[in-house]
Amino acid sequence: MSAAATAYAPVHAASIADPETFWLDAAKALDWERAPSRAFDPQAGVYGRWFPDARLNACFNAVDRHVERGHGEQAAILYDSPVTGTKRRISFAELREEVATLAAVLAGFGVGRGDRVVIYMPMVPEALFGMLACARLGAIHSVVFGGFAANELALRIEDARPKAVLAASCGVEPTRVVPYKPLLDAALARSSYKPDACLVLQRPQAKAELVEGRDHDWEEAVAAAKAEGRRADPVAVAATDPLYILYTSGTTGKPKGVVRDTGGYCVALTWSMANLYDVKPGEVYFCASDIGWVVGHSYIVYAPLLHGCTTVLYEGKPVGTPDAGAFWRVASEYGVCTLFTAPTALRAIKKEDPRAEKLDGYDLSGFRALFLAGERADPDSVAWAEKALGKPVIDHWWQTETGWAIAGNPLGIERLPVKYGSTAVPMPGYDLHVLDEAGKPVPDGTMGTIALKLPLPPSCLPTLWGSDERMRASYLQTFAGYYDTSDAGIRDADGYVTVLGRTDDIINVAGHRLSTGGMEAVLAAHPDVAECAVIGIRDLVKGEAPCGFVVLKSGVTKEPGDIERELVARVRDEIGPVAAFKLALTVGRLPKTRSGKILRATMKAIADGQSYTMPPTIEDPTVLEEIGESLKTRGVGA
């Protein structure tokens, strides 16, 4: 460990040597109905459970207690929507009112502790009310990102089996209105499981048709509950009760339902606000993600509110709404101290405003740090932002599975030197090791798979929804006694971690995690496709973009160009626009090993214009030339 890490090192060491004391101490920041007498039960669950005898309510901790302590008038949510031209300030007292009323509406649909509620909504305050209303009742929410299509929504509904669905009539993208309700209707038609009720927020940009008996108008239902004085109080639940399920791409087409338990999550997030982000209660925190992703769950909704901060809810893009100064406008208008976004957003801003001229005129005197996560932060963008902002730019590494950073630079404890390309050091409770294929630790500076010695710290997934077996098979079987992150990386002599990329078929497109296997399944289902491979190729703004190679069945007479267009449309329809699948290439053959394994890594190297060694087991090296040629015809590759 670097000599600079004098304050951080003992904190991390204490969390590993005596997790009981460390996390029981961190737990004091919350209000418990029954405080934990112990932090961890190693016998419970798949690898143990956090705070096994404690009880609390997440919504009470995020909302009510701030009102009870005299902060009712403080802004809880600052909604800023350049795409609709709307702004709204919601105080903690108003938030409590909205959430308690909506919870009463949900209770009226029969939603109670342990029931699931799917939320398919854009970045509007009502979506946050919905999440918190579920938490208030002890119900389990499952938010589905608006950029997913009906089929993906249907898969999640089938798996979560929600009692109710909360939806909005539409989302608003800079260039178009996206009607959500027809997608919900299509998903429900596909799903064999049907919820009892759907509560639909009618937005003026596109009104939805409501299905008699099943669908309810949000505004009317809430107004009726208010008129009747119906409000629901927070229900204390076991700390081990799930707060939410968040689906993420797995290596098959079936998404994984990551379960987040209530107590551990609230404890870890609250700890992170002070110690990682260095933010105090009452300050304004701006996380420019989407509530459909884990980063949005944790740092738009729960962490800032649990910590008594004001959260900015921004319905817009980093560029184009209206320009590359959007984030700086929001930061100065609301006195933001910390901004958290994805490197892809920074690259988009840098591309449009390379000299950072859009910063001119904005008062960022209260701004202290920019945090980046979701994909590797490229050194160029980090250096650009450091220069433009004159403030620390901190890369930190995350997964949906962990719910908070695995590694980062703990500004609240000690500002460690930034090393470009590295996500700095492990956060408390993460006993991080870099292993070779046989599970042996590799020397510092050597690449391997990053694995976390069990137990995982609070907030990390205790299991996958409905399947302890899939949890074990997906994460715990590669290396006995460890969680396999499926990220490859290096640790240096100072203990800094550099994450290099996934070891599985997951790709990262504009900070969105996508499975190439899922896209291959869509391509393979086309009647004219014999075989296919999807890889992530380098993209200057999005980091990676998917590219599909298809071999057509013999005897197909249709124009390849027509089939390619159909394939692009199919992925958009089946997975959603978020897949950003725009490039399908018809090729004569796919490069394979003699045992028939498709050489995806070599194809990616060719597409990215990188050098590669000819795989010794390749069946026919000339196929690689054909792949290179076909990429060149589309302007991709060296």
Residue (of 501, 555, 548, 503) closest to 521 by Cα position: 548
| Binding window for ligand COA (CB under 6 A); candidates: 157-165, 259-267, 464-472, 573-581 | 573-581
Which stretch in 76-84, 351-359, 477-485, 577-585 sits in contact with ligand COA by CB under 6 A?
577-585
Please tell me whether residue 346 binds ligand COA under the rule CB under 6 A.
Answer: no
Q: Establish if 344 lies at the interface with ligand AMP (CB under 6 A).
A: no
Residue 171 binds: one of ligand AMP, ligand COA, none (C-beta under 5 to 8 A by kind): ligand COA
Structure tokens at 287: 């996380």
Write the burial class of residue 573 (CB in 10 Å: 0-12 exposed, 13-18 middle, 19+ buried): middle
428 binds ligand COA (CB under 6 A): no
What is the sign, positive or negative, of the torsion defined by CA atoms of 286, 287, 289, 292?
A: negative
389: helix, strand or coil: helix
Respond yes or no on whether the N-terminal peptide bond of residue 428 is cis (omega within 30° of 0).
no
Q: What six digits make up the tokens of 135?
A: 């938490």
Taking the C-alpha atoms of residue 132 and residue 142, their distance in angstroms, rounded to an integer, is 12
Tokens of 562: 């027509």
Closest approach of Cβ 24 to ligand COA, in Å?
A: 31
Residue 423 binds: one of ligand COA, ligand AMP, none (C-beta under 5 to 8 A by kind): ligand AMP
> Are 39 and 23 in contact, with CB atoms under 8 Å apart?
yes
Q: Which of 35, 46, 178, 618 binds ligand COA (CB under 6 A)?
A: 178
Per-position x/- string for 323-342, each x denoting binding to ligand COA as judged by CB under 6 A, each - no binding: ------------------xx
Smallest distance, Å, CB 576 to ligand COA? 7
Instruction: Give the phi and the psi of residue 182 in degrees, each rounded to 5.
Output: -60, -30
> What angle is formed at CA 320 by the lines to CA 314 and CA 324, rounded to 5 degrees?
85
Binder among 79, 129, 397, 581 for ligand AMP (CB under 6 A): 397
Min separation Cβ 347 and ligand COA, Å: 7
Distance, CA of 578 to CA of 510 (rounded, Å):
9
Binding residues for ligand AMP, total number by CB under 6 A? 19
CA–CA separation, 493 vs 115, rounded Å? Answer: 48
CB of 429 to ligand COA, least distance (A): 22
Pick from 200, 418, 510, 535 the residue near ligand COA by CB under 6 A: 510
Running DSSP on this structure, what letter comes out for residue 574?
Answer: H
Q: Which is nearer to ligand COA, 239 or 324 (CB)?
A: 324
CB of 508 to ligand COA, least distance (A): 9
Q: Which residues contact 28 (CB under 8 A, 6 or more apart)?
A: none
Q: DSSP secondary-structure letter at 359?
A: G
Instruction: Quote the CA–CA distance of 369 and 267 in Å, as a whole number.
Output: 23
304 interacts with ligand COA by CB under 6 A? no
Binding mask 430-469 for ligand AMP (x = CB under 6 A): ----------------------------------------
- Asked if 587 and 532 touch (Cβ cutoff 8 Å), the reply is no
Least distance in angstroms from the C-beta of 510 to ligand AMP: 11
Give the separation between CA 561 and CA 539, rounded to whole angstroms: 23
**Residue 499 tokens, joined:** 């994450």
> Does 82 interact with ligand COA (rule: CB under 6 A)?
no
**Residue 513 site contact among ligand COA, ligand AMP, none (CB < 5 to 8 Å, cut-off depends on kind):** ligand AMP
- Binding to ligand AMP (CB under 6 A) within 230-259 occurs at 248
Decide if residue 318 touches ligand COA (CB under 6 A): yes
Q: Rule CB under 6 A: say whether 210 interacts with ligand COA.
A: no
Distance, CA of 583 to chain centre:
25
Q: Does 577 bind ligand COA (CB under 6 A)?
A: yes
Alpha-carbon distance 29 to 386, whole Å?
Answer: 33
Helix (H) or strand (E) run with residue 274 in it: helix 262-275
Amino acid found at 355: R
CB 315 within 8 A of CB 346: no
Q: Whole-number minimum distance, CB 114 to ligand COA, in Å?
A: 29
Q: Does 249 bind ligand COA (CB under 6 A)?
A: no
Contact between 580 and ligand COA by CB under 6 A: the answer reads: yes
Interface residues with ligand COA (CB under 6 A)? Answer: 122, 146-147, 171, 173, 178, 289, 293, 295, 317-319, 341-342, 344-345, 348, 373-374, 510-512, 541, 577-578, 580
Interface residues with ligand AMP (CB under 6 A)? Answer: 248, 294, 373-377, 395-400, 423, 487, 499, 502, 508, 513
